[in-house]
Amino acid sequence: MPLAFDWSFFSEYWHPLLWGFIRTLEVSAIAIAMAFVIGALGGAARAYRIPVVSQVAAVYVEIIRCTPILLQIFFLFYGLPELGIVLTPFTVAWLSVGIWGGAYNIENFRAGFLAVPNGLREAAFALGFSRLAVFFNVGLPLGARISLPSSINTYIAVVKNTALVYAISYNELTTVALNINAVTLRNEPFLVLGVVYLTLVWSLSYVLRLVERRLMVPESA
Amino acid sequence: MLALLPSWVDPTAHYIIHEGLTNTLKMAAAAITASVVIGIPFGTLLTVNFWPTRALIRAYVEIWRGLPLIVTILMVYFVGPDYIPGFEPRAIYAAAIGLSLWGSAQVAEATRGAVQSIPRQQHEAAAALGFGWVGRHTYVILPQALRRLLPPLVTLLVGIIQNTTLAAVIGGAELAGTGQRQIERLGAYPPIGLGQIKALEIYGAIMIAFFCISFPLTRLAAYLERRLV
C-alpha cells in the first residue's frame, strides 16, 4: 500500500543522514584526487611510451575496466585478509573507487596528452626545456584541459560509485539511508537518497561544465 | 586438469557456473533487450521538436543516468512493492529492471546523438519520396543511425554484464552472489564447509571470468568504432 510521506521523519533522522552525506563527499573527494593523480601519471606514461610503466599501466587499465567494481570491492575487503592485509571499510571505500577512477582516467589523460600538438612540445624542447619541464609546462596544462570533458564524466561516475560501499557497510549516505529504512520500514530514506544523489550529480556536472568551458583550449573548439 | 585442484573446487565451481553464470547471462540478455527496445524509440522522440514529450523523456534519461545504479536497484526492490500492487520481484528480476532503466536511459541518449548526426538532406530526400515521419525514421534515418549506435551498444552490454553483480547486494544468485554464498558455505566447519575462508580464490576466479567475457567485447567495441564511424 502506498505510504504517505511523513515530514516529521526528517526532524528525527537528519543528523545521521547529514553525516552519511559528509562521508560520501569525503570518500568522493579522496577518490577523485587519487583518480586525478593516477590518471595524469599513468596517462603520461602511456602517451609518451615510458618503458615498463606504460605496459604496467595498460595492464592495470584493462584489469580494472574489464572486471566489475563490486567484485573489486569484495576482493579488497574479503579477499585480501587471507594474505594478512586487513583494510577498514573506509580504506576500501576510497581505495576501490579511486583505483577504479584512476584506470578510466589514464585513458582520458592518454587521449588528452596525445591531442597536444607536437609542434608545441618541439618548440619547448628547442627552447632548451628538459623533458620534465616540457611535461609540466606544456603537456600537462594542455593535455589535462583537452581531456577535461571525459575526465569530468569519470569524476561523476566516481561519486556515484561511492554508493557501492553499501555492500561492505561503510557508513556513507546509502548505507545510512538503508539502515534507517531497515529500522523504520519507511520509504522516506529512499526519497532522500534520490533527491540528494540527483542534486549532487546534476549540480556537480553543471559546475564542472562551467569549469570546462572556462578552461577550454581555444583552438580545440 | 580438474584432478589437480583441491576437492572443494569442483562442487563450488559447478554451483557458481550453473546457477550464477546462467542468472548473470539471463539478466544481461533481458536488460540489454529492454534497454534497446525502450531506448531507441525514446532517443528518436528526443529529436522531435515537441516540448512535452521531450521534457518527459529528458527527465527519464537524466534521472536514471544521474542516480547511482545501486540506488536504482535498491529502490526497485524495496520501494516498488509498496506502490505497485502484486509487484514482489525476486532479487535478480529487480536488478534486471534497475539495469534496464539505466541502460534504456543510456541508449536513449546515444540514439539521440546518432539520429541527430544523420545529415538533414537524408530527412529531406525521404520526405520528397513521400515518406511520413514514421516511414522516414524506420526506413531511412534509423538504419543509418544504428550503424553509429553499434559501438556504444557493445560498450553498454559490457557495462550491463558487469553491473549484474549489483544483484548480489540484494541477495540475487548471479556470479557474485553465488560466489558469496559458496564463500560463506566453505567458511562453515566440516562437514558443511572447510572452516576456511576462500574469498581470495573465489572472487579472484569470478573476476577472471568477467575479464574473459568483457575483454573481447571491449575489443569488439573498439573495432566497430574504427570500422563503422
Q: Which residues in chain A have Cβ-Cβ distances shorter than 8 Å to B203?
A: 71, 74-75, 78-79
Look at residue A219 in the predicted model and tell me its pLDDT: 66
Cα B193 from chain centre: 34
pLDDT in tens, B130-170: 888 888 888 888 888 888 898 899 999 999 999 999 999 99
The arithmetic mean of pLDDT across residues B36-47, rounded, is: 92
Confidence of residue B201 (pLDDT cuts 50, 70, 90): confident
Taking the Cβ of residue A24 and every Cβ of chain B, the question of whether any pair is shorter than 8 Å is answered with no
Q: Which residues in chain B have Cβ-Cβ distances shorter than 8 Å to A163?
A: 68, 70-71
Look at residue B2 in the predicted model and tell me its pLDDT: 57
Q: How far is CA B125 from CA A150, B57, B120, B121, in A?
A: 36, 28, 9, 6
pTM of the complete model: 0.89
Alpha-carbon torsion A63, A68, A71, A77, what sign? positive
The arithmetic mean of pLDDT across residues B116-127, rounded, is: 86
Determine the residue among A67, A153, A176 to mutate to test chain B binding: the one whose Cβ has the most chain B Cβ atoms within 10 Å.
A67
- Mean pLDDT over the full length of chain B: 89
Look at residue A175 in the predicted model and tell me its pLDDT: 92
**Residue A160 distance to chain B (closest CA, Å):** 5
Q: CA-nearest residue of chain A to B202?
A: A79
Using CB atoms, which residue from B78, B198, B203 is nearest to A74?
B203
Grid look-up 557456473 returns B17
Q: How far is CA A173 from CA A13, A95, A168, A194, in A?
A: 12, 18, 13, 11
**Residue B217 distance to chain A (closest CA, Å):** 9
- Inter-chain CB proximity A181 and B78 less than 8 Å: yes
Look at residue A1 in the predicted model and tell me its pLDDT: 43
Look at residue A37 in the predicted model and tell me its pLDDT: 94
The arithmetic mean of pLDDT across residues B34-54, rounded, is: 91
Confidence of residue B229 (pLDDT cuts 50, 70, 90): low
**Residue A23 distance to chain B (closest CA, Å):** 16
C-alpha cell at B203: 572472487
**Residue A194 distance to chain B (closest CA, Å):** 7
Per-residue pLDDT tens digits of chain A, which is 221 residues long: 446 677 777 788 888 889 999 999 999 999 999 999 999 999 999 988 889 999 999 999 999 999 999 999 999 999 898 888 889 999 999 999 999 999 999 999 999 999 888 888 889 889 988 888 888 888 888 888 889 889 999 999 999 999 999 999 899 999 999 988 888 888 888 888 999 999 999 998 899 888 888 887 776 54
Q: CA-nearest residue of chain B to A64?
A: B211
Do B130 and B190 meet the contact criterion of CB atoms below 8 Å apart?
no
Please tell me the distance from the alpha carbon of residue B179 to that of residue A79, in angstroms, as a whole number.
Answer: 12
- Other beta carbons within 10 Å of A198: 16
Residues A135, A138, A142, A143, Cα dihedral to 10°: -20
Using CB atoms, which residue from A78, A167, A187 is nearest to B79?
A187
Taking the Cβ of residue A153 and every Cβ of chain B, the question of whether any pair is shorter than 8 Å is answered with no
Using CB atoms, which residue from B71, B199, B204 is nearest to A163?
B71
The arithmetic mean of pLDDT across residues B195-222, rounded, is: 90
Q: Indicate the range of B85-89, B154-158, B192-196 predicted with least confidence.
A: B192-196
Q: What secondary structure does DSSP assign to A140-200, as a single string?
A: HHHHHHHTHHHHHHHHHHHHHHGGGGGGGT--SHHHHHHHHHHHH--SHHHHHHHHHHHHH
Q: Which residues in chain B have Cβ-Cβ distances shorter than 8 Å to A70?
A: 165-166, 168-169, 176
Q: Indicate the range of A212-221, B6-15, B101-110 predicted with least confidence.
A: A212-221
Q: What secondary structure does DSSP assign to B176-206, as a single string?
A: HHHHHHHHHHHHSPTTTS-SS--HHHHHHHH
Taking the Cβ of residue A65 and every Cβ of chain B, the question of whether any pair is shorter than 8 Å is answered with yes
Look at residue A221 in the predicted model and tell me its pLDDT: 45
Look at residue B110 in the predicted model and tell me its pLDDT: 92
